[in-house]
Amino acid sequence: MDWKPERNSHLTLQEQIVNWMRSRIERGDWTVGTKIPPQRKLASQLKVNRSTVQQAIEELKADGLLESKVGSGVYVANHSWNALLNKSQPNWKQHIESSIHKPNIHTIQLINEYEQYDDVIRLGTGELSPELLPTKELKQSLQSISLDAKVIGYSSPLGNERLRKILCEYLQKRGIYTFPENILIVSGALQALQLIALGLLEEGSIVFHEDPSYLTSVHPFQSAGMQMISVQRNQHLQETLQSLKKKRQSIFYCIPSLHNPTGINFSVEEKKQLYEVCNALQIPIVEDDVYHELLFDSPTPPIKSFDSSGQVLYIGSVSKTLSPGLRIGWVVGPTQVIQRLADIKMQTDYGSSSFSQEIVAHWLSTELYENHVSWLRHQLKERVAFVEKILEEEFKDIASWNKSAGGFYIWLRFHQPIVNKAFFLKLLNEKVLINPGYIYAANDLHHIRLSYAYASFDELAKGLEILRKISKVSMNRGIEGSE
């Protein structure tokens, strides 16, 4: 017998015997089917009590390494290797389920997966079609960008200074007068939301938002332990916010221009009203303005342009106009806040891609960006005219919608509540991917966010035909299943 009890070990005798037997199985000394010596014999060989051996064997049986055969004895179990492997791997499932970050709802996971397949018609995607991305011009502009150490090294905490100066001029055209130290470059607008959640809010804070909202489809605040409360913007807004907020910290998140998913635009009066209400209650506003350049008519000034008290954090991005793959956005706010967000950002990713920042600086400082965006608006207008014509001709009996004022989306409302998970899956089965309304407002079974920005004209026509067919069937049958 190659084993002796270690009397000075921190392990009990039973644990030592378990480890010894386990190692015999791992080393292959006891292969599957090997009969273990009887307990009495083992106890005498190992010079321990029989009950200690018995308990060790029970433990290994519970772990699936040994098994009893009635009237025959104890054997190394058939599936002992699986049991060993499972034992030696961490319990990832438990790690995943108990972690802080919330998973995406299953429908969004499916959307993310099916967006990768070329044969799927994407009727909901919040992204520019490949033919609307300025690929050729971007390639050409790379020739004008120097690849010095700054451009390929780590970025400074607030981001490329030249880009921040250029952004000050760009924002002036939007009525926002700011300084480079008030701007933080982020890896897309979504990161700005994550940094705000982590850097400015305590657990249990309230995030007020409209219903429906893009914010319901991502989890930067929920995962940081914030409470999401949707509110209506009406004449009772102040009382509503006051009674819900009580003494808790809170922010108000809004998308006043080309709202995602509804496409709604606040009037100047509505923007002022929201600013004043939040000002009276000292609720900071997060103004997400990533779509404003895609308005077909001239945009109205953002809430940030009337912000005399440093109450508005303004977020922009080039994802919806130039390229989402560059992952460049910005937050504008009081220096103290910007420094705080920059500190968290450095702890998170050491700054956004210096290379991407250089590209964006080049585009914003030349006529490249403005020319491209004005061409893009024109293209989007053509696309929406095409889609609205199909809707007029084919969807009037089953759905309603508002004429698009710009951007990517039509918030299409079916007369009946047919848009549930089963409906989403039926369309997916026909290789048509939609963004159902319930990912933006949990109880919404009427809407889909119809995007005219991604699919080709042929795909839009074919996808809408399939959408109409499946909608008709669902309406006739009534709804089935849900998320």
Ligand X SMILES: Cc1ncc(COP(=O)(O)O)c(C=O)c1O
Residues within the interface to ligand X (CB under 6 A): 126, 188-190, 214, 255, 260, 288, 290, 317, 319, 324, 329
Count of other CB atoms within 10 angstroms of residue 247: 4
> C-beta of 271: minimal distance to ligand X in Å?
16
> C-beta of 267: minimal distance to ligand X in Å?
19
> C-beta of 384: minimal distance to ligand X in Å?
17
Q: Give me the count of residues in the chain.
A: 483
Question: Which CB sits closer to ligand X, 199 or 417?
Answer: 199
Over the Cα atoms of the chain, what is R_g?
30
> C-beta of 192: minimal distance to ligand X in Å?
8
Question: Which CB sits closer to ligand X, 56 or 183?
Answer: 183
Kind and range of the H or E element at 193?
helix 189-200
Spatial CA neighbour of 380 closest among 480, 246, 258: 258
Question: Which CB sits closer to ligand X, 77 or 384?
Answer: 384
> C-beta of 254: minimal distance to ligand X in Å?
10
Q: Which residue has the closest beta carbon to ligand X?
A: 188
Question: Which CB sits closer to ligand X, 188 or 463?
Answer: 188
Helix, strand, or coil here: 447?
Answer: strand
Question: Which CB sits closer to ligand X, 46 or 360?
Answer: 360
> C-beta of 290: minimal distance to ligand X in Å?
5
Distance CA 456, CA 462 (A): 10
Cβ–Cβ under 8 Å, residues 244 and 223: no
Question: Which CB sits closer to ligand X, 395 or 440?
Answer: 440
> C-beta of 188: minimal distance to ligand X in Å?
3
Rounded-to-5 percentages of helix, strand, coil across the chain: 45, 15, 40
Cβ–Cβ under 8 Å, residues 174 and 197: no
CA atoms within 13 A on the CB side of 71: 0
Distance CA 97, CA 129 (A): 36
Kind and range of the H or E element at 113?
helix 106-114
Residues ≥6 apart with Cβ < 8 Å to 156: 351
Question: Which CB sits closer to ligand X, 13 or 190?
Answer: 190
Question: Which CB sits closer to ligand X, 377 or 468?
Answer: 377
Between β-strands 312-317 and 329-332, what pairing exists: parallel, antiparallel or unpaired? antiparallel
Spatial CA neighbour of 352 closest among 143, 134, 139, 191: 191
Question: Which CB sits closer to ligand X, 338 or 418?
Answer: 338
> C-beta of 34: minimal distance to ligand X in Å?
58
> C-beta of 406: minimal distance to ligand X in Å?
13
> C-beta of 410: minimal distance to ligand X in Å?
15
Question: Which CB sits closer to ligand X, 52 or 160?
Answer: 160
CA torsion angle 343 349 350 353 (round to 10): -120
Long-range contacts, 263-269 (Cβ 8 Å, 24+)? 263/402, 263/404, 263/405, 263/406, 263/407, 263/409, 263/410, 263/411, 265/295, 265/300, 265/405, 266/300, 267/300, 268/300, 268/301
Kind and range of the H or E element at 420?
none
Question: Which CB sits closer to ligand X, 319 or 356?
Answer: 319
Distance CA 421, CA 417 (A): 12
